């Protein structure tokens, strides 16, 4: 089968959504499909040129970002569909999804937020798309987003498929592999190692992590992520505790190696989590980081937010702690520091849940199995 994966996000880049799109395309390839990934605009490239896959073709439709990109994208994506003749399309934008449906292509549309609902054109596009027989399915990344989408549009909740984010499984050899040299030289012996991988934008809990490291000097905290400007600023801060190591923006594989090398992984999301574009996604989010942490088989301390409770169980697969409460975070880290058995139990349970529910292959299978009838 020929499958077209379409995105408005710049591609390639090191953003979580670009990684998500690449993993979706790769999942279709691994299921035996011929895949074309179409990006509306070019990205800056993968960090250090670390492209995650080269088994699918990538085509960029516009030379730059500009206002009204999704509208400009419509005729271009239709022309691509006419030439590629896909049997299935996946789109992360409702207007693009409508354009593909009007071209006669069966399409799945995925939502990561309610941002589309701010636009009258996007609302109208969804209303029209719902009447098209080409619509294979509507996907959201969380139950709360499904419920909000259903209330706002009148779509029956049962017509919306919830597919959280995912991560690739780690082999036993990877989990027990050597610590990379660039990381090992910053680790003190017989010291609890904490890790964080991801963006350093507002709402990701950087200040909270610094406070935890400041209050518990007998741990090492490793922060890997970007953008580079934020990492450089954090590294240069005079108040950064000496046990905090800022590794900057590195390739995806280095982030995975760090996740598997430390003892405890941190996901200190704030109550309000903003995307780089300023959209608060805390109500609906399904952070890829959480699934990568589960796959790494390490204990996790995570902010106790309703959207994350859809995936994590307190004291079984993670320790869920009130966001923005330094005392609670310090207590959780100290408990894990003093109880190695608890760390092992949480890590094993998290990895088991990931293997059973949250791999990219499982997510791809569910996408491909969506019904052929348009939701009502």
Whole-model pTM?
Answer: 0.92
- pLDDT digits 0-9 by tens, 296-332: 999 999 999 999 999 999 999 999 999 989 999 999 9
Same domain, 177 and 222: yes
Residue 46 confidence (pLDDT) above 80: no
Q: Which residue segment(s) compose the domain that 333 sits in? A: 172-357
Please give the pLDDT value at position 355: 98
Please give the pLDDT value at position 372: 44
Q: Average pLDDT over the chain, rounded to whole?
A: 91
Is residue 213 included in any domain, yes or no?
Answer: yes
Higher-pLDDT residue of 14, 161: 161
How far from 46 is each of 14, 19, 43, 204, 292, CA to CA, in Å?
5, 9, 8, 21, 18
> Tokens in use for 93?
């934008």
To the nearest 10 degrees (0 to 180), the angle between helices 16-30 and 288-296 is: 60
b/e sequence 179-202, b meaning 16+ C-beta within 10 Å? eeeebeeeeeeeebbbbbbbbbbe
Is residue 322 included in any domain, yes or no?
Answer: yes
Same domain, 228 and 291: yes
266 pLDDT band (50/70/90 cuts)?
A: very high
Same domain, 151 and 234: no
CB 245 within 8 A of CB 186: yes
Residue 67 confidence (pLDDT) above 80: no
Please give the pLDDT value at position 53: 60
Q: What is the C-alpha radius of gyration for the chain, rounded to an integer number of angstroms?
A: 21
Please give the pLDDT value at position 274: 61
Same domain, 134 and 273: no
Higher-pLDDT residue of 220, 19: 220
- pLDDT digits 0-9 by tens, 109-157: 999 999 898 889 999 999 999 999 999 999 999 999 999 999 999 999 9
For the purposes of burial, counting CB atoms within 10 Å of the CB of 115, is it exposed (0-12), middle (13-18) or buried (19 or more)? Answer: middle
> Peptide bond before 12: cis, by omega within 30 degrees of 0?
yes
**Nearest alpha-carbon partner for 80 in 64, 63, 57:** 57
Higher-pLDDT residue of 51, 158: 158
Same domain, 150 and 60: yes
Q: What long-range pairs does 102-105 form, CB within 8 A, spacing at least 24? A: 102/78, 102/132, 103/78, 104/134, 105/4, 105/81, 105/134
Q: What angle do CA 358, 364, 370 make, to 5 degrees?
A: 115
Is residue 373 included in any domain, yes or no?
Answer: no
- pLDDT digits 0-9 by tens, 338-371: 999 999 999 999 999 999 999 999 999 999 998 4
> Tokens in use for 40?
């509306």
Same domain, 230 and 97: no
Same domain, 152 and 187: no
DSSP 280: B
Same domain, 327 and 223: yes
Q: Which residues lie below 8 Å from residue 252, measured CB to CB, with a gap of 6+?
A: 14, 19, 46, 47, 50, 52
271 pLDDT band (50/70/90 cuts)?
A: confident
The total number of structural domains in the chain stands at 2
CA atoms within 13 A on the CB side of 313: 11
Same domain, 100 and 34: yes
Same domain, 270 and 138: no
**Nearest alpha-carbon partner for 314 in 325, 303, 328:** 303
Is residue 376 included in any domain, yes or no?
Answer: no
Is residue 375 included in any domain, yes or no?
Answer: no
- List helix spans (H) across the chain: 16-30, 69-84, 94-102, 120-129, 143-153, 172-175, 181-184, 206-215, 228-236, 252-261, 288-296, 306-309, 326-338, 340-357, 360-368
Is residue 93 included in any domain, yes or no?
Answer: yes
Is residue 374 included in any domain, yes or no?
Answer: no
**Nearest alpha-carbon partner for 112 in 41, 37, 163:** 163
Residue 65 confidence (pLDDT) above 90: no
Residue 26 confidence (pLDDT) above 50: yes
How far from 136 is each of 46, 68, 145, 202, 316, CA to CA, in Å?
31, 26, 19, 36, 36
C-alpha–C-alpha distance, residues 155 and 142, integer Å: 16
- pLDDT digits 0-9 by tens, 273-305: 666 555 667 889 999 999 999 999 999 999 999
Same domain, 84 and 54: yes
Same domain, 337 and 353: yes
**Counts of helices then strands in the chain (DSSP H, E):** 15, 13
Please give the pLDDT value at position 272: 79
What is the CATH classification number for the domain harbouring 334? 3.40.50.2000
- pLDDT digits 0-9 by tens, 154-204: 999 999 999 999 999 999 999 999 999 999 999 999 999 999 999 898 778
Q: Which residue, chain included where needed, has tokens 């937020």?
A: 113
C-alpha–C-alpha distance, residues 295 and 293, integer Å: 5
Is residue 205 included in any domain, yes or no?
Answer: yes
**DSSP-based three-state secondary structure for 117:** helix
């Amino acid at each position: 089968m020929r499958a077209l994966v379409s995105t408005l996000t710049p591609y390639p880049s090191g953003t979580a959504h670009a990684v998500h799109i690449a993993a979706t395309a790769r999942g279709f390839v691994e299921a035996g499909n011929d895949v074309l990934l179409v990006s509306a605009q070019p990205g800056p490239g993968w960090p250090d040129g670390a492209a995650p896959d080269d088994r699918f073709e990538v085509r960029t439709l516009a030379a730059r970002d500009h206002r009204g990109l999704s509208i400009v994208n419509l005729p271009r994506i239709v022309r691509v569909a006419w030439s590629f003749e896909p049997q299935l399309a996946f789109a992360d934008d409702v207007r693009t999804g409508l354009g593909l449906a009007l071209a006669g292509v069966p399409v799945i549309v995925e939502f990561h937020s309610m941002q589309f609902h701010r636009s009258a054109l996007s609302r109208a596009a969804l209303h029209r798309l719902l009447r098209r027989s080409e619509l294979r399915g509507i996907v959201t990344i969380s139950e709360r987003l499904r419920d909000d989408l259903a209330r706002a549009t009148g779509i029956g909740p049962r017509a919306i498929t919830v597919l959280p984010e995912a991560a690739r499984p780690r082999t036993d050899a990877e989990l027990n592999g050597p610590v990379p040299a660039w990381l090992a030289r910053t680790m003190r012996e017989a010291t609890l190692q904490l890790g964080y991988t991801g963006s350093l934008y507002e709402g990701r809990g950087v200040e909270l992590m610094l406070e935890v490291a400041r209050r518990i000097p007998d741990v090492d905290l490793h922060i890997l992520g970007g953008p580079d400007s934020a990492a450089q600023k954090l590294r240069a801060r005079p108040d950064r505790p000496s046990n905090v190591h800022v590794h900057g923006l590195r390739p995806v594989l280095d982030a995975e190696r760090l996740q598997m090398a430390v003892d405890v992984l941190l996901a200190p999301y704030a109550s309000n989590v903003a995307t780089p574009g300023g959209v608060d996604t805390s109500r609906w989010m399904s952070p890829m980081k959480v699934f990568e942490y589960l796959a790494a088989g390490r204990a996790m301390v995570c902010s106790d937010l309703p959207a994350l409770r859809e995936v994590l169980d307190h004291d079984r697969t993670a320790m869920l702690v009130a966001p923005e409460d330094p005392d609670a975070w310090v207590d959780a880290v100290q408990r894990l520091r003093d109880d190695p058995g608890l760390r092992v139990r949480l890590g094993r349970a998290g990895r088991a849940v990931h293997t059973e529910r949250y791999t990219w292959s499982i997510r791809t299978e569910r996408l491909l199995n969506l019904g052929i009838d348009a939701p009502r």
